[in-house]
């Protein structure tokens, strides 16, 4: 039963818009056209049809309208429930990723132990005979920070420190003036600093990192050894290092005041579909990709023994996500994601409503890849190069020498087509 036009108009004016429960007496007044005291009506304890009390009383209730306030509260509850459901799904996805990762790590642990045994490393095997596939990390021996004196250098670090002194890149901490913080990571903070009149970038490694165990000193020495031999226009140049461990283990490099690749391509915005700045010309975007490829070719040609974190989920190769053995071809995969980002002008996987962990799960398990550039004869060769570079089989991915050559040829064709 619907009240007449005059009453509906009064109810709209009274901010009454969606279903409420009226008693039989009230409904009698409404349907007989009696004028309702709207102020009184708004002050009454009107039950929403979603309330438990409403379900108990089925004899004298007719559902017509409810107040905006009640409707607003229900909307808030719906939004809250939706948010909790999304959080639950996200945590379930993370759990699934960690479980799959743990299972693969256990498989590869058994594989490498078997390989070591076949090669006569019985002493190593005997130490792990009691380790079951479900052994937790807490059962492994840990190195206490107290076991490593702050002033003790292992042979690797001592050797690289002597090399730094001989070649003039040993820096005392008091020579550097730290200025503003420009970056922060899990193991180090990056500052802009001043050293002998030059702007430099100072990577200040956390003291707790060195106090954990002696292997961290080996990593520090290896990074300095690698950087000290780099001479390439697109590879960051090492200026020196501080060896006052554990508090002042610093890596000092040239300071690049220009924008990052992300800032150049996307501006200051975070991940979103809509661009806030104009897309740079295609020729310039290919130039950026070519510079990255040239730097990576230089590093790969040196066949360096690198110790590094394989990257973030969005750019991470599927074999790394699955905790499988990997080669330098993981860099080719990561480059393909960056090259595709340069050509499309879109953040990787922005077309999906996924977080980083779900992206990793989809990449590792279902071969998910970002959306390719729109079909265009001018971009056909670039698209083919991207597809080859993120091939699921690492052996099918081209080398950086091949990528560099391909990008040069593609760039020349685009320049000629524009000039013609």
State the burial class of residue 259 (Cβ atoms within 10 Å of its Cβ: 0-12, 13-18, 19+).
exposed
* Cβ proximity of 345 and 367 under 8 Å: no
Query: Does 203 belong to an annotated binding site?
Result: yes
Q: What secondary structure letter does DSSP report for 248? A: E
Q: What is the number of alpha carbons within 13 Å of residue 131 lying toward its C-beta?
A: 17
Nearest to 293 by CA among 389, 155, 417: 389
Three-state DSSP string of 79-119: HHHHHHHHHHHHHHHHHHHHHHHHHHHHHHHHHHHHHHHHC
Q: Report angle CA 390, 394, 400 to the nearest 5 degrees.
A: 70
Question: What is the rounded distance in angstroms from the CA atom of residue 238 to the CA atom of residue 42?
Answer: 74
Helix (H) or strand (E) run with residue 28 in it: helix 24-31
- Listing DSSP states for 255-277 in one string gives ---SPPHHHHHHTT--S-SS-SS
- Listing DSSP states for 356-417 in one string gives HHHHHHHHHHH---PPPPPP-GGGHHHHHHHHHHT-SSGGGSPPHHHHHHHHHHHHHHHHHH
* Cβ proximity of 298 and 235 under 8 Å: yes
Question: What is the rounded distance in angstroms from the CA atom of residue 386 to the CA atom of residue 370?
Answer: 11
Question: What is the rounded distance in angstroms from the CA atom of residue 48 to the CA atom of residue 19?
Answer: 7
Q: Report angle CA 8, 44, 48 to the nearest 5 degrees.
A: 70
Q: Is the dihedral of CA 14, 17, 23, 25 positive or negative?
A: positive
Please state the residue numbers annotated as binding site.
203
Please state the residue numbers annotated as binding site for ATP.
203
């Amino acid at each position: 039963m619907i009240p007449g036009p005059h009453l509906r108009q009064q109810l709209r004016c009274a901010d009454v818009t969606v279903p409420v429960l009226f008693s039989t007496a009230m409904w009698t007044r409404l349907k007989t056209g009696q004028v309702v005291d709207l102020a009184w009506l708004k002050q009454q304890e009107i039950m929403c049809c979603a309330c438990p009390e409403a379900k108990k009383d089925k004899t004298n209730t007719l559902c017509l309208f409810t107040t905006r306030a009640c409707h607003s509260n229900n909307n808030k509850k719906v939004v809250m429930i939706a948010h909790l459901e999304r959080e639950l799904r996200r945590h379930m996805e993370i759990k699934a990723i960690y479980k799959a990762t743990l299972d693969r790590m256990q498989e590869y642990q058994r594989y490498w132990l078997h390989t070591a045994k076949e090669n006569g490393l019985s002493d190593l095997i005997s130490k792990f005979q009691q380790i079951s596939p479900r052994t937790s990390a807490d059962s492994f021996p840990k190195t206490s920070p107290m076991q490593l004196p702050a002033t003790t250098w292992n042979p690797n670090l001592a050797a690289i420190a002597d090399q730094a002194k001989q070649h003039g890149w040993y820096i005392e901490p008091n020579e550097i003036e730290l200025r503003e913080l420009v970056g922060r990571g899990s193991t180090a903070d990056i500052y802009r600093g001043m050293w002998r009149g030059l702007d430099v970038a100072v990577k200040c490694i956390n003291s707790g990192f060195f106090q954990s165990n002696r292997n961290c000193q080996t990593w520090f020495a290896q990074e300095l050894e690698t950087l000290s031999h780099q001479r390439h226009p697109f590879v960051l140049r090492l200026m020196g290092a501080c060896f006052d461990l554990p508090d002042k283990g610093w890596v000092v490099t040239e300071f690049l005041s220009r924008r990052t690749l992300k800032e150049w391509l996307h501006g200051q915005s975070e991940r979103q579909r809509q661009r806030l700045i104009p897309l740079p010309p295609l020729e310039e975007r290919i130039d950026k990709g070519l510079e990255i490829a040239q730097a990576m070719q230089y590093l790969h040609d040196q066949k360096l023994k690198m110790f590094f974190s394989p990257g973030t989920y969005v750019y991470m190769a599927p074999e790394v996500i699955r905790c499988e053995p990997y080669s330098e071809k993981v860099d080719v995969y990561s480059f393909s994601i960056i090259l595709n980002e340069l050509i499309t002008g879109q953040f990787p996987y922005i077309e999906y409503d996924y977080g980083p962990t779900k992206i990793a799960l989809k990449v590792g398990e279902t071969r998910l890849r970002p959306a390719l550039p729109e079909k265009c004869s001018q971009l056909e060769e670039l698209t083919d190069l991207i597809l080859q570079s993120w091939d699921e089989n690492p052996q099918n991915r081209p080398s950086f020498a091949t990528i560099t050559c391909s990008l040069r040829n593609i760039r020349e064709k685009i320049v000629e087509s524009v000039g013609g």
